[in-house]
Amino acid sequence: MRFLGINAVFHDPAAALVVDGEVVAAAEEERFSRRKHGKRPVPFSAWELPEQAAAWCLAEAGLRPEDLDAVAYSYDPSLVRQETGAPWEDLRTTYATRAPNFLATALPGLDPAQVRFVPHHVAHAASAGLAAPYDECAVLVCDGRGESVSHLAGHYRDGELTTLATQELPHSLGLMYEDVTEHLGFMRSSDEYKVMAMASYGTPRHLDVLRELVAATPEGGFRVEPIDWGGFAKRLGSGERWTADHADLAASVQARLEEVLLDLAFWLHGRTGARRLAMAGGVALNCVANTRLLAEGPFEDIWVQPAAGDSGTALGGALHLAQEHGEPAGPMRGADLGRRWSDDEVAAWLDVARVPYTRPRDLAGEVAAALADDRIVAWFQGRSEYGPRALGRRSLLAHPGHVRNTERLNDVKGREQFRPVAPMVLESRARDIFGRGPVPSPYMLFVHDVRPEWRERIPAVVHVDGTARIQTVSPESDPLMAGVLERFEALSGLPVVVNTSLNTAGRPMVDSPRDALECFGSAPVDVLVIGPCVVRRPA
């Protein structure tokens, strides 16, 4: 059977396709439209659908819209309570209610009756609990908002979800974090990771006050009272310089978020007795909080769905329908679910662009040598990633042993200098260099302590607090990248390379060969490795 999942109502519109119990394709609309996050998260945009992503998913499987057994739309307008007080909520609800007809227009041949509304947080939960490598697990969903709640705690057993607690709006940990993101001069529903990075530069001196305003409740939920952010630090405009007061506010909010998540995890463990936890929702992208949950919480293992934000509800909706129809999908095998091009197609793109290139016999060795020579390498290989993290498919790579490379990469990308870049490391070597976080860690969703003896050896990937958000690689999951890491260590003595996303500020990650050529042509990158081809910038 064939199930298409659609996320559209808030932000990060995306599509995912499950066929006969297998996740065949998943992609975010931003990778096609080249518009960051696909659209802004306002009611006026709720009608916009991931038309290109959905059409590509079907084409990838050789299907037409009329071949689908059902389409999951990851929002149920019948669950909306108008008294939530959100401006223009009636407009968002109207658009969502009419989504079946909008989808039938976008995908000619689709019967609107085939569209099923899947509650937003159920779709999040399914994207974690049904995709996790567990037969049974607790599931924790926390984000800004769904129809009328902002949180779900539950338990998956034999593919069935038992919901144990939800939290009604307006109380929301995700919206609290969005509010402080905006107060600190960043874009809400987009730049929350910048607050997480800034938090490492401050001290949580407002924690006692926030504990009075934000707290878990005995029923497995929480309360978030109105907060006067201006009482902690002056509101910043976009691009305005931040101070220690702003870093202290970020640190305080981050710390309180972690504490409340720990309270929720202990409550959930007490109700389920589960050994494992699966997580989704935008808050689950907070890798600092995830590591604290694993280190101090009650669960032995935690698995976070790599597209944990709203884009992942497209996958969750499709998995939910497949489970309902008796065709459960197996565990998620990886995040490389997007578009791909053959070697010959890549070469044809370069020929059309009249770009000189080589096709070295030892690609891994050539790339390792460029990195050892302190070149910045744009890396374009295989299927693109589903979710916000660059995982060795659309990446910028660099030497980790030169502290200036953090600044170089932030300059290439045109982003704030306080933001860290991440290390990629062979799974077999990770424990030698990094502590506290889990291994394997293939999706960059946890932070790890960098062991003291390594901090001066790989300074480009060490954040100000001594941590790094690692990605582990194995020869089985990515033999080419594993080969690069092995060859780079042989040349440099370092088993780590810098990995950050292949894009510039305000732009989605590179997805197609055209995107890669445009990025390479406009940014100070030394080498482009695209499929089997190597393009070098003229001296």
Segments making up each domain of the chain, as ranges? 2-119+311-325, 132-304, 339-536
pLDDT score for 84: 58
Residue 508 has pLDDT above 70, yes or no: yes
Amino acid at 91: L
Amino acid at 539: A
> What is the average pLDDT across 482-493?
98
pLDDT score for 475: 96
> What is the average pLDDT across 497-501?
97
Residue 290 has pLDDT above 70, yes or no: yes
The CB density around residue 212, as the number of other CB atoms within 10 Å, is 8
Position with higher pLDDT, 81 vs 100 = 100
The DSSP H or E segment spanning 428 is none
> What is the average pLDDT across 424-447?
97
**Distances from the Cα of 46 to the Cαs of 91, 162, 517, in angstroms?**
8, 29, 32
**CATH class of the domain comprising 132-304:** alpha beta
pLDDT score for 83: 61
> What is the average pLDDT across 506-528?
95
Residue 86 has pLDDT above 80, yes or no: no
Q: Where are the alpha helices (DSSP H) in 158-243?
A: 173-183, 192-199, 207-213
Cα–Cα distance between 192 and 502 in angstroms, integer?
19
154-163, pLDDT tens digit by residue? 999 999 999 9
Architecture of domain 2-119+311-325: 2-Layer Sandwich (3.30)
pLDDT score for 85: 60
> What is the average pLDDT across 359-383?
98
533-536, strands of its sheet edge to edge: 471-473, 422-426, 496-501, 394-398, 377-380, 527-530, 533-536
Whether 2-119+311-325 shares its CATH topology with 132-304 is answered yes
Cα–Cα distance between 302 and 297 in angstroms, integer?
10
519-522: long-range pairs with CB below 8 Å, 24+: 519/378, 520/378
Cα–Cα distance between 312 and 476 in angstroms, integer?
25
Cα–Cα distance between 137 and 197 in angstroms, integer?
30
Between CA 402 and CA 412, with CA 406 as vertex, the angle to 5 degrees is 120
Using a pLDDT cut of 70, give the percent of the chain over it: 99
Read off the pLDDT band of 505 (50, 70, 90): confident
Q: Which of 11, 155, 171, 463 is catalytic?
A: 11
Residue 283 has pLDDT above 90, yes or no: yes
The CB density around residue 157, as the number of other CB atoms within 10 Å, is 13
> What is the average pLDDT across 265-287?
98
Residue 538 has pLDDT above 90, yes or no: no
**What is the chain's Cα-based Rg?**
22
- Percent of residues in the chain assigned helix, strand, coil, to nearest 5: 40, 20, 40
Residue 422 has pLDDT above 90, yes or no: yes
Count CA within 13 A, CB hemisphere, residue 446: 25
User: What average pLDDT does the structure give for the chain?
Assistant: 96
208-263, pLDDT tens digit by residue? 999 999 999 999 999 999 999 999 999 999 889 999 999 999 999 999 999 999 99
Cα–Cα distance between 424 and 183 in angstroms, integer?
33
11 is a catalytic site residue: yes
Architecture of domain 339-536: Alpha-Beta Complex (3.90)
Query: By the 8 A CB rule, do 92 and 8 touch?
Result: no
Cα–Cα distance between 498 and 124 in angstroms, integer?
31
105-154, pLDDT tens digit by residue? 999 999 999 999 999 999 999 999 999 999 999 999 999 999 999 999 99
Phi, psi of 198 (to 5 degrees): -65, -30
Beta strand residue intervals within 383-470, DSSP E: 394-398, 422-426, 434-435, 448-450, 467-468
Read off the pLDDT band of 494 (50, 70, 90): very high
Helices 89-97 & 99-106, crossing angle to 10 degrees? 50
Residue 413 has pLDDT above 70, yes or no: yes
What is the residue whose two structure tokens read 């060490």? 462
Pairing of strands 214-216, 222-224: antiparallel
Cα–Cα distance between 379 and 393 in angstroms, integer?
7
